[in-house]
């Protein structure tokens, strides 16, 4: 593997401070969203207004980094104009690319801003080259972010079968459901990741200490109950404990977050164009540390993929950030399924 | 105003071959207008392989109903893509429901197709785009409310049909992981096809014992049964062309007959619902239709 091949490190920013530290720590690209439901991290106090975005773009460009704007939720007819306007705003702010999922909105972006680079979001649920090439032929997408469902051989096959650059998730929170194909939050709370850009919103969460333990509900549905010694996680439906056939367990997944560090040489050899860090909702300190570690690791890997060894200092730094959660290789490793 | 047609959605569960064939033999005799066939959930299921579904479509074609072959929602491997091509290249003999954009790519500008609910069509622009590529019908994502649907309907091309999921447990999520295999501590690749033991999936309850969801392999469904029998007037006012009933192991024929009777005006919606009470596998819900959390019940006809 020659050092000349470029693999970009794509890092999250929920605000200007995170964007700045990501750039300082060596992110090639930073992805951000507007302060509303046009992106999949629509959380209170997070994200960018027009002024902050312009400042962020300026700052990133000064250091040779790029800014991608996620417009990756699905507009509805009644609020269509708001999403279309967000496309215009991102373009006006000088974004290097838009990360999108909705076919109609991509058609709008391609028609209205033909020189604007488009990426297919993970929310577009494109898991195979036929789907990715569909977006390529119609909207000229330059890159697709793969849903976290494919094993390495499948990723290699996709890359071999499309002219579109492939970006994969490398680190951070892990949706066990296919992104863009999950209405569990909408079913329980009425707030939809697809349309509202949020999952299991805080306003629907209720914690209550009971004689049986600490109970957490999502709009009245009991998602889990924790003993005093147990670590209580945020109650998305997929991370709850439920009863199936008289067994109570994590029916969907054990609490774990993705860390593909040890697969980095494989991903680079497979020909991915970018590795992505999840976590626009995370603090600037978190973004700084993850970016620092992954920059070092990616540089080491690009210099000598065959000689690449995961350094224990990297792993312990990343483990500290995951707050004791287990790490998993997710779908890249078939036994996870 | 034309009354909507009735369709039977694809079988979501994994049943033994003989049972599947017997089920569709019975469906062919019911007052259904459209029957959707095919394995949409898991490519490992093999009681009927792709060619068997196509053969079944051939058998059912003489019933006078419109037969539609459905593609899988989540394609992972190259063999999944091959199975997809087998369906899309059936010589235009049968209509195909496209459940991912890969399927759309193989059908577009070549043969008419149905744009499935998992394509995430939420606005008039996207719906019109799919119509331009050859979609003759689109299936509304279950999470869309009546008000949102009305806005899309106002923008749809005149010759594009709209289908609504009217009855059944809602398909809510898909995963790379199999939750049935996980329940039995099996890997998906070595799953022993345990989902064949559960005619209607595995019920998942909260730790207080309340039924909440259903595990069906890589798919998660609502436990509650979406039922829009009380909304027939609203559906007609929105010019919905097709109402979909999703198969269950029990009482599907009676549900079809009750919908037909209500559509034909031989039974009031409230009487139909009263008769359905004993036939539904769980409580009713219609929250999505009313712009609320999906599990809620808003309307009583």
B297 touches chain A (CB under 8 A): no
Q: What is the pLDDT of residues A279-331, one digit of tens each?
A: 999 999 999 999 999 999 999 999 999 999 999 999 999 988 876 667 888 88
**Residue-level length of chain A:** 337
Q: Where are the domains of chain A?
A: 8-174+256-336, 184-250
Answer yes or no: CATH 1.10.3720.10 is held by domain A8-174+256-336.
Answer: no
Cβ-contact A97, A143 below 8 angstroms: yes
The mean pLDDT value for A68-96 works out to 97
A59 touches chain B (CB under 8 A): no
Cβ within 8 Å of residue A228, ≥6 positions away? A213
B275 touches chain A (CB under 8 A): no
* Confidence (pLDDT) at B36: 98
Mean pLDDT over the full length of chain B: 96
The mean pLDDT value for A166-170 works out to 97
Residue B178: closest CA among chain A residues belongs to which residue?
Answer: A337
* Confidence (pLDDT) at A3: 41
pLDDT higher than 50, residue B49: yes
Q: Round to whole Å and give the CA distance between B66 and A209.
A: 56
- B84 CB neighbours in chain A (<8 A) are 130
pLDDT higher than 90, residue B160: yes
pLDDT higher than 50, residue A1: no
The mean pLDDT value for B44-68 works out to 96
Tell if the CB–CB gap between A243 and B73 is shorter than 8 Å.
Answer: no
* Confidence (pLDDT) at A331: 83
SS3 B84: helix
* Confidence (pLDDT) at B1: 55
- Determine the residue among B40, B98, B105, B194 to mutate to test chain A binding: the one whose Cβ has the most chain A Cβ atoms within 10 Å: B105
A180 touches chain B (CB under 8 A): yes
CB nearest A337 (choices: B130, B141, B178) = B178
Find, among B127, B125, B154, the residue nearest to B140 by Cα.
B127
Q: How confident is the model at residue A4 (pLDDT cuts 50, 70, 90)?
A: very low
Q: Chain centroid to CA A216: how far?
A: 25
Cβ-contact A73, A196 below 8 angstroms: yes
Q: Which fold has domain B5-170+224-279?
A: TIM Barrel (3.20.20)
What is the widest separation between alpha-carbon atoms in chain A? 61
């Amino acid at each position: 593997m020659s050092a000349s091949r470029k693999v970009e490190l794509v890092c999250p920013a929920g605000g200007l401070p995170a964007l700045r530290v990501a750039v300082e720590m060596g992110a090639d690209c930073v992805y951000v969203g507007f302060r509303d439901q046009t992106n999949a991290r629509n959380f209170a106090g997070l994200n960018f207004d027009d002024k902050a975005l312009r400042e962020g773009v300026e700052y990133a460009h000064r250091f040779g980094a790029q800014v991608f704007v996620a417009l990756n939720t699905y507009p509805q007819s009644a609020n269509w104009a708001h999403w279309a306007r967000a496309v215009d705003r991102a373009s006006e702010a000088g974004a290097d690319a838009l990360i999108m999922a909705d076919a109609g909105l991509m058609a709008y972006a391609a028609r209205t801003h033909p020189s604007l680079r488009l990426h297919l979001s993970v929310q577009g649920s494109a898991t195979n080259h036929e789907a990715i090439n569909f977006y390529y032929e119609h909207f000229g997408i330059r890159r697709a972010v793969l849903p976290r469902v494919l094993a390495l051989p499948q990723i290699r096959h996709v890359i071999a079968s499309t002219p579109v650059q492939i970006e994969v998730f490398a680190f951070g929170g892990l949706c066990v459901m296919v992104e863009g194909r999950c209405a569990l939050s909408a079913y329980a709370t009425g707030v939809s990741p697809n349309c509202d850009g949020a999952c299991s919103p805080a306003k629907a969460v209720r914690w209550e200490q009971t004689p049986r333990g600490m109970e957490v509900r999502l709009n009245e549905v009991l998602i889990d109950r924790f003993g005093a010694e147990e670590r209580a996680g945020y109650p998305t439906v997929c991370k709850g404990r439920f009863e199936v056939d008289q067994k109570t367990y994590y029916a969907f997944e054990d609490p774990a977050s993705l860390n593909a560090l040890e697969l980095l040489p494989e991903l680079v050899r497979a020909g991915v164009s970018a590795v992505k860090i999840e976590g626009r909702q995370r603090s600037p300190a978190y973004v700084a540390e993850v970016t620092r570690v992954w920059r070092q690791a990616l540089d080491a890997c690009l210099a000598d993929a065959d000689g690449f060894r995961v350094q224990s200092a990297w792993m312990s730094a990343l483990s500290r950030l995951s707050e004791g959660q287990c790490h998993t290789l997710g779908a890249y490793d078939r036994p996870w399924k | 105003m034309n009354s909507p047609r009735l369709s039977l959605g694809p079988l979501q569960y994994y049943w033994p071959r003989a049972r599947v064939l017997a089920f569709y033999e019975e469906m062919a005799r019911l007052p259904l207008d459209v029957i959707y066939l095919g394995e949409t959930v898991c490519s490992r299921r093999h009681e009927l392989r792709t060619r068997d579904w196509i053969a079944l479509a051939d058998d059912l074609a003489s019933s006078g109903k419109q037969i539609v072959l459905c593609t899988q929602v989540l394609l992972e491997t190259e063999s999944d893509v091959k199975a997809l091509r087998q369906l899309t290249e059936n010589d235009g003999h049968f209509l195909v429901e496209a459940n991912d954009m890969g399927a759309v790519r193989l059908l577009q500008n070549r043969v008419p197709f149905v744009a499935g609910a998992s394509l995430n069509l939420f606005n008039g622009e996207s719906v019109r785009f799919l119509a331009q590529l050859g979609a003759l019908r689109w299936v509304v994502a279950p999470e869309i409310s009546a008000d949102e649907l009305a806005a899309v309907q106002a923008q749809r091309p005149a010759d594009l049909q709209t289908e609504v999921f009217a009855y059944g447990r809602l398909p809510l999520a898909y995963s790379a992981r199999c939750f049935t295999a996980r329940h039995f501590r099996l890997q998906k690749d070595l799953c022993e096809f345990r989902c064949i033991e559960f005619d209607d999936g595995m019920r998942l309850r909260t730790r207080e014992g309340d039924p909440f969801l259903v595990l069906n392999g890589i798919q998660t469904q609502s436990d509650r049964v979406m039922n829009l029998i009380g909304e027939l007037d609203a559906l007609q006012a929105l010019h919905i062309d097709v109402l979909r009933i999703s198969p269950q192991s029990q009482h599907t024929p009676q549900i079809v007959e009750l919908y037909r009777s209500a559509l034909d005006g031989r039974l009031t919606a409230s009487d139909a619902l009263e008769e359905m009470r004993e036939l539904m596998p769980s409580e009713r819900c219609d929250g999505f239709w009313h712009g609320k959390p999906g599990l809620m019940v808003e309307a009583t006809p």
